[in-house]
């Protein structure tokens, strides 16, 4: 009976020891404290305050307490923390350039998807492509250019007749005003020729930087980055930019790639955006550059389901051009009014 208080005191001291060790740093886990509970009791059965308060060192733990410490050092969250480290600017540039190289292998036939035979036709077709598909423009322009083959012809046209011809492209009244206005400007200010300078092109009615770079890059061989909706979407998904301003995106992407790559880069990115990396349902499971994409998983990752989302030649369907260039592996688009 005389030993009961001592045993009770020692038992209480063990609880204090466990609580004290659970309050110390990462190496004082409650599970480890259980293995050293007895060490907090002095020779006379009383709690030793110094040992209760002091952090437990690895050398003082029992074999039972050492095991969790080893597990903590090799825990997976530490590895996850390292992998979540922000990407450096250099690493992003290297990854972006590798994406461009791999897209060049996927789309060696990338090209502008508007049918044209000269700079004037490309300029008009690009203006008409706003808020519609290149396919619909390609189905519409043959009749337009057959009737108005030159800027002089289009500038002198009857607006209502032009409206009727381009009606399938949508917003036909505003577009009629733009293409007739730029045709008149070409006739009056540039001798009926499309200028080959950015500062001249953007002065024309309905012509902005995107349209100007399409014409410069594909009709004059002047490098330019075409920032359309597809390019904007993919540049953000790939971490090339965080902006949603086309001019800022153009400037930021221009710093990543050499100037000689700008025009073809635009074609490849737009091709990929139209065929695989769609806005609403990206076909992630059928994408050839998932190993380089920080946004992998935003779309369908199952390979079979993803393949059903592929468009144009990637999905075995006609392309957007009625007259595609040599080397295009898909089928030409059908004329207006024909079944697809």
- The residues that are catalytic are 210, 228
DSSP state for residue 319 in the 8-state scheme: -
Task: Round to whole Å and give the CA distance between 207 and 201.
Answer: 7
- In terms of residues, how long is the chain? 340
Task: Round to whole Å and give the CA distance between 306 and 31.
Answer: 48
DSSP state for residue 56 in the 8-state scheme: P
State the number of CA atoms in the 13 A half-sphere of 31 facing the CB.
12
What's the Cα-to-Cα distance from 280 to each of 21, 192, 233, 273, 321, rounded to whole Å?
A: 53, 42, 11, 11, 24
Q: How many CB atoms lie within 10 A of CB 134?
A: 21
Helix %, strand %, coil % of the chain (to 5):
60, 0, 40
Q: Are 266 and 253 within 8 A, CB to CB? A: no
Q: Are 119 and 219 within 8 A, CB to CB? A: yes
* Phi/psi-derived region of residue 297, left when phi > 0, alpha when psi is between -120 and 50, beta in every other case: left
Sign of CA dihedral 202, 207, 211, 214: negative
């Amino acid at each position: 009976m005389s030993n009961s208080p001592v045993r009770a005191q020692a038992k209480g001291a063990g609880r204090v020891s466990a609580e004290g060790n659970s309050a110390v740093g990462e190496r004082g886990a409650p599970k480890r404290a259980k293995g050293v509970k007895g060490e907090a009791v002095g020779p006379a059965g009383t709690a030793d305050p110094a040992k209760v308060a002091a952090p437990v060192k690895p050398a003082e733990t029992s074999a039972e307490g050492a095991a969790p410490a080893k597990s903590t050092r090799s825990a997976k969250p530490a590895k996850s923390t390292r992998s979540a480290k922000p990407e450096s600017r250099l690493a992003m540039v290297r990854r972006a350039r590798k994406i461009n190289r791999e897209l060049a292998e996927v789309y060696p036939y990338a090209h502008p998807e508007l049918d044209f035979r000269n700079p004037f036709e490309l300029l008009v077709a690009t203006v008409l492509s706003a808020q519609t598909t290149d396919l619909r423009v390609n189905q519409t322009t043959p009749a337009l250019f057959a009737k108005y083959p030159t800027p002089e012809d289009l500038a002198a046209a009857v607006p209502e007749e032009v409206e009727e011809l381009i009606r399938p492209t949508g917003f036909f009244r505003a577009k009629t005003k733009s293409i007739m206005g730029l045709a008149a400007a070409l006739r009056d200010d540039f001798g009926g020729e499309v200028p080959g300078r950015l500062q001249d092109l953007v002065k024309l009615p309905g012509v902005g930087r995107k349209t100007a770079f399409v014409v410069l890059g594909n009709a004059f061989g002047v490098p330019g980055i075409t920032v359309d909706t597809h390019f904007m979407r993919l540049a953000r998904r790939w971490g090339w930019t965080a902006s949603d301003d086309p001019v800022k995106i153009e400037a930021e992407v221009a710093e990543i790639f050499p100037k000689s790559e700008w025009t073809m880069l635009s074609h490849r990115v737009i091709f990929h955006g139209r065929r695989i990396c769609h806005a609403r349902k990206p076909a992630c499971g059928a994408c050839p550059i998932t190993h380089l994409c920080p946004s992998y998983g935003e779309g369908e990752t199952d390979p079979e389901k993803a393949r059903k989302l592929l468009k144009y030649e990637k999905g075995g369907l006609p392309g957007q051009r009625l007259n595609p260039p040599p080397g295009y592996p898909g089928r030409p688009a059908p004329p207006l009014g024909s079944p697809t």
